[in-house]
Structure 1
């Protein structure tokens, strides 16, 4: 069937009561970890199978109450003279909210999405989120854009697009958990939110390192990448995992191998796996901090070793990169060294970010926790990357879900064949 999503006009949801900001001059200064991400849109879609009473009104009400505690997210981007000193103005202007309905059940939606393999164009997913600027957030845009879509079975999907400079994945998951708690009638969030933390602001990062992080995020040459929804089966994951190998390490190693086999021809050329790592425990930030606290670690190896060598050695290469995090942070190094060719190139670098246990799966608006978490993104905005371990209630039956945008259409069939033979 043709799935039709009918949307109401966008509205603005503001904090439910006036807020007195604790921020100096009513503004939030971006930390060195925020600055490279201040225009980047990120999407999370949460699928809920069990009905709740009036989901649109319930979530809108919880959102309005949560913005009292997370008042910076109701603000807008601003800058000082000469477009310098980009920051959040705590204006309380609110966030964009859209109510929508679909002419199908949640199960029909999932069949449509999963049946779109090998290349779901994300047309359905894009209908479940508020339209956002494809090339990043501007100053007039709200930092959060939320859409609640109800389905004929009573289930619903919450689609959230946020400005990555305002919060990282753990932070926005914390925010959504707070919306759920307040929507369920709790008097206040169980976690007290913190947006400014001195340990982050005081990081010994030079302007050149911040620029290097921006070049890593945006410096890649425009390349049209194919989008694939992939499941890495448990039999493969369990075949790799040893006593100390995590699910993420096994999945990342498998993807790195499959892509390297397809896109690299010189076995002696270096290949890089860039891993985003939640670094809260290494930096000692306050509980409840929801700003950006992720660093990028580089696992580097010969392409021949990754493509055809011992898989456990590939896992050990990934683990060693993770073990270097504390020492790198002491030096103020939040991103590893790459050559100009690697930064801009297609073949040599794969970025992997993990959404396992990030917190999206724990959100409950009143009918139970999230049944499935999805995402989508503009391929033109990012380098070759994979979002791995997307939470799903069916994960135990199937394996680890991955949204992959790491190969061109030219390499897509070969990449999928490699995945299928794992």
Structure 2
């Protein structure tokens, strides 16, 4: 994949605004106190690769998707606010407001002089060619006053295409974005309207009056370290390198062999997260007394006691941290790290989300700790990007274009070898 990035070219048309197909309400909408936290104020890119479909020869995926997008925006009109003049604005106490003006979503059509099969047996991040497959329109990538969505459809010589999208994270989490993309896909396949209608209701994650922090939120705390010792600082990504590692079923069985019987039913994500956290801490050679953490996103959707309505597409998750001293994490068996990771899921509750919203208000929407003591690991295998079907079938790959800052993504990758296709890792 890296070698091919230098031998194929992409020709883009001028970016255009795709407005809703019908008039939409002109109003202002407040985001929740989970939505507008500081660390979600960035543009988050995803990409999907689609093969040719024999029954759709002559169909232009860019035209089909652009038309469906326009119709879907009638229902998801907050995405279509004016992109360059205050689409997102800050109110008192840095509260974010969406101005719904119906101007449209940035859309780019492009053509690449390459076939999908020329990209090799394995299509997975990081993608060296991503700047060609998702063009950064000048003036569009800031958190405020910029597009909430940017979409590029790149046609391939074989009849397949690449769909790339960049989302302002304050508007939706990955599940909310996939809900929107599925709505576009359904309309592309001639549905009159989405099967799941969108629900705004951001007030369910708005702080209480008065706000009160009742839970521990280690992800937003500066972790303690021994004074006088050198601290690895990763606030800058200048020295970071993105790599993709494939864990086969054999690899995962080998890791599990180091676990005690009572942890044998742990999920693959939990096992790999614990292994990566422990191995990374050993490699960074922290002072033994330093406190280190790993945070995982835990969704509030479907959790007992949580009132997240069907169709809600805002941010409905929390990064919940597992913490340990470097000494205990490195000297104990893998099961120690795994038990800490498993406990993060059990801490999700209605009270936890209310406490987090209150923390955002009381602390002025604090950032996550971004030193080397902290790590974020996100699971995209069940989000459903690869399942979004615009009529050409499922994607060969669907998920993040690459990692951001100090985040590790656990993603599905359909990988082939000489004897055929391997199952997702």
Shorter-chain TM-score range: 0.7 to 0.9
Counterpart selection for 1:15 from 16, 20, 27: 20
Q: How does 1:182-331 map to 2 (within 5 A)?
A: 182-201=187-206, 206=211, 221-224=235-238, 225-241=240-256, 243-282=264-303, 283-326=306-349, 329=352
Could you tell me how far apart the structure 2 residues matched to 1:263 and 1:316 are?
22
Q: What residue number does 1:69 align with?
A: 75
Alpha-carbon spacing, 1:275–1:81, altered in 2? closer, same or farther (3 Å): closer
- Cα deviation digits, residues 213-257 of structure 1 (max 9, x gap): 8888xx963242211122122223234455531121122122212
Displacement of 1:203: 5.4
| Deviating more after overlay: 96-105 vs 43-52 | 43-52
- SS state of the match for residue 295, structure 2? strand
Aligned pair partner of 2:103 in 93, 98, 101: 93
Gap change, CA 1:343 and 1:46, over 3 Å in 2: closer
- Relative to 1, partners in 2 of residues 1:6 and 1:30: Cα closer, same or farther, differing over 3 Å? same
Partner SS state of residue 63, structure 1: helix
Change (3 A) 1:20 1:6: same
Q: Are positions 1:45 and 2:47 aligned together?
A: yes
Distance 1:9 1:345, change over 3 A: closer
Provide the secondary structure at the position in 2 that maps to 1:230: coil
Deviation at 1:268, TM superposition (A): 3.9
Distance change >3 Å, CA 265–CA 214, structure 1 → 2? closer
87-96 or 200-209, larger mean C-alpha shift: 200-209
Match of 1:107 in 2: 117
| Partner-residue secondary structure (3-state), 1:68 | coil
Distance in 1 of aligned mates of 2:220 and 2:321 = 16
**Any idea what SS the aligned residue of 2:297 has?**
strand
Task: Quote the residue 2:390 is aligned against.
Answer: 365
Structure with the larger helix share: 1
- Extract unaligned runs of 5+ from structure 2: 223-232, 257-262, 361-366
Larger Rg belongs to: 2
Q: Is the 1:277–1:297 Cα contact (8 Å) retained in structure 2?
A: yes
RMSD over aligned CA atoms reads 3.4
Question: Partner of 2:386: helix, strand, or coil?
Answer: helix
User: How far 1:134 sits from its partner (Å)?
Assistant: 9.3
CA deviation profile, 1:310-361 (whole Å, cap 9, x unmatched): 222221110112212227616613689xxxxx96553211111111211212
Is this contact kept in 1: 2:122–2:415, CA < 8 A? Answer: no
The Cα of 1:398 is off from its aligned counterpart by: 6.1
Whether the 8 Å CA contact 1:205–1:333 is kept in 2: the answer is no
Whether 1:333 and 2:333 are equivalent positions in the alignment is no
Q: Is the 8 Å Cα contact of residues 110 and 154 (structure 2) preserved in structure 1?
A: yes
Change (3 A) 1:221 1:95: same
Return the offset for 1:135. 9.7
Q: Tell me how far 1:86 sits from its aligned partner.
A: 2.5
Number of residues of Structure 1 aligned to a counterpart in Structure 2? 381
What SS does structure 2 have at the residue aligned with 1:146? strand
Change (3 A) 1:183 1:73: same
8 Å Cα contact 2:141/2:147 also seen in 1: no
Measured in 2, the distance between the counterparts of 1:161 and 1:205 equals 36
User: Structure 2 residue aligned with 1:57, among 55, 63, 73?
Assistant: 63
- Of the three residues 150, 157, 168, the one matched with 1:152 is 157
Give the corresponding residue for 2:371: 346
What's the TM-score once normalised by structure 2's chain length? 0.79
Structure 1, 11-20 or 275-284: larger mean CA deviation: 275-284
Residue 391 to residue 196, structure 1, CA distance change in 2 (3 Å): farther
- Give the stretch that moved more between structures: 88-97 or 230-239: 230-239
Deviation at 1:147, TM superposition (A): 0.3
Give the secondary-structure state (helix, strand or coil) at the position aligned to 1:35.
coil
Structure 1 residue 266: deviation in Å? Answer: 2.8
Indicate the SS of the match to 2:164.
strand
Contact (CA 8 Å) 1:5, 1:101: kept in 2 or not?
Answer: yes
Cα drift, residue 34 of structure 1 = 0.7
8 Å CA contact retained: 1:69, 1:193: yes
Task: Give distance in 1, aligned partners of 2:376 and 2:24.
Answer: 39
User: Residue 197 of structure 1: CA displacement?
Assistant: 4.0
- Does structure 1 conserve the Cα–Cα contact (< 8 Å) formed by 2:91 and 2:97? no
